[in-house]
Amino acid sequence: MANLDKINQYQSTEKSAIYNYGDDLEKVLNVLSGLSGLVFEVIGNWVWISGETITHKETLKEIGCKWAPKKKQWFYRPDEHKSYWNREEHTIEEIRAKYGTTGQRKATGWQRVETRA
């Protein structure tokens, strides 16, 4: 418990200084689910995006996704997970095995609701 007290003394009590990655992730996943033809998968704290990405390239850039040329996939990650020292290459299968996955989801695009009398 003493360690928790030490950690907590350095945390800000201001609401504007608190960062919640879950909120950012939810926004990104909501946008991705509305883009038809995409396949996305949450692996650890990262979201990997494949499928028909060419038509949605600008939207992916706008929401903060980056292109991984060797994997030929887009990804979204928290800013604090940027690696400056680890430059090892890993396959997507190795990343899945290390961090776990929620499984792939196929985006269906925004569905139009029909009103019937």
Average pLDDT score, the chain: 80
pLDDT digits (tens, 9 = 90+) for 5-57: 665 565 666 666 666 677 888 899 999 999 989 999 999 889 999 999 999 99
Residue 62 pLDDT exceeds 80: yes
Work out the number of other CB atoms within 10 angstroms of the CB of residue 39. Answer: 16
Across 4-8, 65-69, 83-87, 95-99, the highest mean pLDDT is recorded for 65-69
Residues 15 and 26: their CA atoms lie apart, in Å, by 19
* Cα dist from 1 to 5, 7, 71, whole Å: 6, 10, 43
Give the side-chain half-sphere CA count within 13 A for 110.
Answer: 3
> Is 46 in contact with 81 (CB distance < 8 Å)?
yes
**Res. 2: pLDDT tops 60:** no
